[in-house]
Structure 1
Amino acid sequence: MSYFLFLFLAFVLWRRWKVNTSNPGKLPLPPGPKPLPIIGNIRDIPLGVPQWELYEAMALKYGDIIHLNVLGQSIVVLSSLEAINDLLEKRSAIYSSRPRSTMMHELMGMGWSLAIMEYGEEWRRVRKAFHQHFNANEADQYHDIHVYCAHSFLRRILRTPEDLFTHTRHLFAKSIMKVTYGIDVKEENDPFIFHAEQTIAAFNTAARPGRYLVDLMPVLKYIPSWFPGARFQKDALYAKDMSQKMVNNPFIVVKEREHSGDAEPCVVARLLDEVPDGPRREEEEDIIRKAAGIAYAGGSDTTVSALQSFFLAMTLYPSVQLKAQAQLETVIGPNRLPTPADMQDLPYIVAITKEVLRWKLVTPLAVPHTTTESDEYRGYFIPKGTIVMGNSYFILHDPAVFPDPHEFKPERFLHEDGSLNPDVLDPTAACFGFGRRICPGRAFAQDSLFSVISSVLHTFNITHAHDLDGNKIPVLPEVTDGLISYPKPFACSIKPRSAAAEAMVRSTE
């Protein structure tokens, strides 16, 4: 153990020496909390506390560019669209060409993900295949599937409202699997959903810098899984198995259906039909396989978190629910359910969707990147190898832009006459990432959210749950820590607004 401690201390000191020698102009580092010897700022970002909440306080104190040192590793957090545009976009050759994938991500075999794939020819081809069928211009073709899945969700929460969190995960897995692979997932215990959830959870855990010691000391990757303290190797092997099954298994189903002539209409089938036979077909199929996996992993997870935040907000802010239901009654009436085609006539529902994306961000911190060379910005020195993160959370919780930023207020996106106000910063400017790594499926996700949120508000009342003694069960707006954030489990009551509303839900069967 003392030998490993010696190596670790030597590694930290070497990193510090390397930073000092690469800064010949002796420029200052960006401002931030004062680091301690050896361990740096590790005590300033403790595990168990959402990083973005810590960075929010630092941004208010130090400004929109913050520097931390964690065991010799430089971290820079950017908390304004100006800084993000100047660095992550305008200087993309330094900041965006090489995403910061952790050593754990490498051990987990997650190189297929656009979020951590190095920018280059393969990245462009995978993103093009994804964008071809999920961009804003193609979004309208999926409206019927959004409605179909929203109606399925209504029936599920009507039967077992206590299983809300399970239903939210099933809902978006159902829509993404149908669109991408033409696969109808099982109502219970679906293996495709299980593999995806396990993969996303592992990716999320490994994304936080410093979560695993192997990220700070990559040489540890050679330690066998049976060695004491090498639990990370077992975690990586399990995650790799889940990851490969998530990406490969549904793709294989489509290929088998194509071979037998039973292919369902879907994105993967269309992409495969466009590939000519020849020596490059296998390579092209691998691009399609990766693009489809990204669609499933990214699309379903983003909307799951956002929908759970919606139910949390409706429980805590009943007045918002009442205003939304009043608009739905006026525009939609009692005899049908809303669809994406009603979006322009339901500005308050659109505002709720925007506020859901702003209030509890799905990805409060953009995917970290690593600088490929040293840089100077605003007179500050940014060392080569620095982890750089866009602080989406603060951008959408800056009190100068969004007064009372921690309150759920859809009205902030509206004019006094109730119409949408285009002058207010749209949450999509930050909540789906930045620059060329912005989520290409954001239009699909927003349409899906609108369909579900509008349908739920039109047919159900969401209120506080009560215990057996009739006491209201407290609900706190707390979320999990990680690259992808979810509301922590909470109790709420979900009941049909009326017998007619219940009958309308049942009629969708």
Structure 2
Amino acid sequence: MPGVSEWEKARRWGQEHGDLVFVKNLVRPYIFINSYDAAVELFEKRGNNYSSRPQNTLIELEGWSQLPSQMAYGDEHRKSRQFLNRFFGPSSVTDFCELQTKVAHKLLFGLLTEPDRFEDFTRRSAGETIMMAAYGYEVSNEKDPYIALADRGVRSLSEAKGFSLVNLLPWSNLNDERLLLVRYLPEWVPGTGFHRLIKEGYKLSHAMVFEPYEATKKSMSDGTYISSVTSKLIEVNSTEDGNIADEPTIAKSAAIAYAAGADTTVSTLNTFILAMLLYPETQRRGQEELDRVIGKDILPTMEDKTNLPYINALCNEALRWQTVAPLGLAHCPTKDDVYNGYFIPAGITIYANIWAMQRDPLEYPEPEKFIPERWMPSDGKRTPLDVYKTQFGFGRRTCPGKHFAANSIFIDIASILAAFNIEMASDENGAQIIPVVDYVEGFVRHPKPFKCKITPRSDKITSTIKQAVEAIL
């Protein structure tokens, strides 16, 4: 296995060997699914068999398995999805539109005042949106402790999901043998960096699940809380004796929204800004549509979404061009199965190679290029496969927050384009600094830091942004 970009290696294997690629790393077997059709067949049509998660030693020992996204398929996972779907389903997610629009305006104000810090502001924006929705918590600034906690936690989870020695070894006794290894194998032995990962990961996973949850409970007892997913779940599940039914599941459900929402949207927004630098004609076309449909120097609203097909195409392409989570979350069959003559044993780790699916040249011609027009086909051509379908998972493990994420991505991208021009920065000699498409690899990919110049499109839009933020404050 390569040390990084396993998804690209698996894509190349797929080109040589077919849609399903079987790999044995040491003694641990894996299957990579490189085609959309195969993923739908297994994870959706046969979802009753492929909806669990495989054994992962580090995730279990670090406590990440308590998050609903990492849970084995069962009663607690189903209860968690019921909680989340109640608030983040397509019919309910509109309740957050006002919040998402206000946070987008704060993002614009940050870009207006300190444009060089755009990466800080996109992170704050994503964190602020999900923290208010999940916990009713108002983020103080881009260095807010809960945003920092989510950032560290996602990095820790990403490390735990990797192809480490501990995860590759076969364990006959899942609890005793692994605990003995952690307790008694000296830390000076090469390859035992997992000691640090486990200690840090356990603290982070516990903090991410319970610290913001307990803060919400305290604000409710003080009478100072702002209505949120967590507060509503507590109210609905409170009993007459003062207890809270399913309290651990409530805390875990809010935590997965917090963990996912605080990181993945950031990657997409920064990818969008990178694309605007490298493909300026797409920026101009997006701004032309905004000026024509809603007018110049006007900030868009969520109601404009259906009337802005090119902006929606930009959002789709930002998700497709540089996949946020290239391998998604692993699936695991609970029973032996056969697909197209291939035997698939129970318990094997299966990855849907989203990277390969979103770079299928038959579905997306010239996949390495950023081409929003592919989502607006003409001359009788069909629209490509829905990128939200691949990006947010399959079957019973589809991310429940995908509609919330889609709205956040839309309002942020539309607002940035309506308000600003994004151009290449210049060095001390006046030469343009052309950014390189280079990413920090992990479960969630992020563009490596790059420079750009972000300037307001007019004096009037500057005034509009300030007025919008003054109205919020």
TM-score, normalised to structure 2, is 0.92
Aligned partners of 2:54 and 2:347 also within 8 Å:
no
Name the counterpart of 2:246: 284
Name the counterpart of 1:380: 342
Name the counterpart of 1:47: 3
Name the counterpart of 1:22: none
Task: Give 1:480 deviation, angstroms.
Answer: 2.6
Larger Rg: 1
Name the counterpart of 1:216: 169
1:185 corresponds, among 139, 143, 152, to 139
- In 2, Cα distance between equivalents of 1:268 and 1:326: 41
Structure 2 CA distance for partners of 1:279 and 1:376, relative to 1, 3 Å: farther
Name the counterpart of 1:365: 327
Amino acid at match of 2:96: Y
Task: Give 1:150 deviation, angstroms.
Answer: 0.3
Name the counterpart of 1:64: 19
Task: Give 1:124 deviation, angstroms.
Answer: 0.5
Amino acid at match of 2:385: L
Residues 407-486 of structure 1: pairs in structure 2 closer than 5 A: 407-416=369-378, 423-486=383-446
Can you give the 5+ residue segments of structure 1 that lack an aligned partner in the other structure?
1-44
Name the counterpart of 2:200: 238
Amino acid at match of 1:155: F
Residues 261-410 of structure 1: pairs in structure 2 closer than 5 A: 261-277=223-239, 281-410=243-372
Amino acid at match of 1:308: N
Instruction: Please list the CA deviations of residues 96-139 of structure 1 after superposition, one character each: whole Å capped at 9, or x if unmatched.
Output: 2x202521111211122222101111000011101110111112
- In 1, Cα distance between equivalents of 2:309 and 2:249: 39
Amino acid at match of 1:213: V
Residues 85-100 of structure 1: pairs in structure 2 closer than 5 A: 85-96=40-51, 98-100=52-54
Instruction: Please list the CA deviations of residues 19-55 of structure 1 after superposition, one character each: whole Å capped at 9, or x if unmatched.
Output: xxxxxxxxxxxxxxxxxxxxxxxxxx3113x122112
- In 1, Cα distance between equivalents of 2:307 and 2:347: 49
Task: Give 1:157 deviation, angstroms.
Answer: 1.5
Aligned partners of 2:54 and 2:348 also within 8 Å:
no
- In 2, Cα distance between equivalents of 1:256 and 1:125: 24
- In 2, Cα distance between equivalents of 1:257 and 1:197: 24
- Which SS does the other structure have where 1:136 is aligned? coil
- In 2, Cα distance between equivalents of 1:385 and 1:279: 43
- In 1, Cα distance between equivalents of 2:286 and 2:383: 22
**Matching of residue 168 in structure 1 with residue 122 in structure 2:** yes
Task: Give 1:465 deviation, angstroms.
Answer: 1.4
Structure 2 CA distance for partners of 1:73 and 1:153, relative to 1, 3 Å: same
Aligned partners of 2:239 and 2:245 also within 8 Å:
no
Percent identity over paired residues: 33
Structure 2 CA distance for partners of 1:175 and 1:285, relative to 1, 3 Å: same
Name the counterpart of 2:174: none
- In 2, Cα distance between equivalents of 1:334 and 1:462: 17
Instruction: Please list the CA deviations of residues 339-391 of structure 1 after superposition, one character each: whole Å capped at 9, or x if unmatched.
Output: 11101111100110011111111111121123334332222233343211111
Aligned partners of 1:134 and 1:440 also within 8 Å:
yes
Range moving further from structure 2, 454-463 or 240-249? 240-249
Name the counterpart of 1:150: 104
Task: Give 1:217 deviation, angstroms.
Answer: 4.9
Aligned partners of 1:414 and 1:421 also within 8 Å:
no
- In 2, Cα distance between equivalents of 1:441 and 1:454: 20
Amino acid at match of 1:394: A
Aligned partners of 2:237 and 2:244 also within 8 Å:
no
Aligned partners of 1:156 and 1:167 also within 8 Å:
yes
Range moving further from structure 2, 408-417 or 257-266? 408-417
Name the counterpart of 1:257: 219
Can you give the 5+ residue segments of structure 2 that lack an aligned partner in the other structure?
172-176
TM-score, normalised to structure 1, is 0.86
- In 2, Cα distance between equivalents of 1:280 and 1:102: 37
- Which SS does the other structure have where 1:370 is aligned? coil
- In 1, Cα distance between equivalents of 2:222 and 2:206: 24
Range moving further from structure 2, 58-67 or 380-389? 380-389
Task: Give 1:479 deviation, angstroms.
Answer: 2.1
**Matching of residue 131 in structure 1 with residue 93 in structure 2:** no
- In 1, Cα distance between equivalents of 2:24 and 2:187: 29
Range moving further from structure 2, 77-86 or 443-452? 77-86
Task: Give 1:453 deviation, angstroms.
Answer: 0.3
Aligned partners of 1:99 and 1:368 also within 8 Å:
yes
Task: Give 1:93 deviation, angstroms.
Answer: 4.2
- Which SS does the other structure have where 2:367 is aligned? coil
Amino acid at match of 2:19: D
Range moving further from structure 2, 153-162 or 399-408? 153-162
Name the counterpart of 1:15: none
Task: Give 1:297 deviation, angstroms.
Answer: 0.8
Name the counterpart of 1:42: none
- In 2, Cα distance between equivalents of 1:416 and 1:94: 40
Instruction: Please list the CA deviations of residues 464-496 of structure 1 after superposition, one character each: whole Å capped at 9, or x if unmatched.
Output: 111112222231222232222222222221111
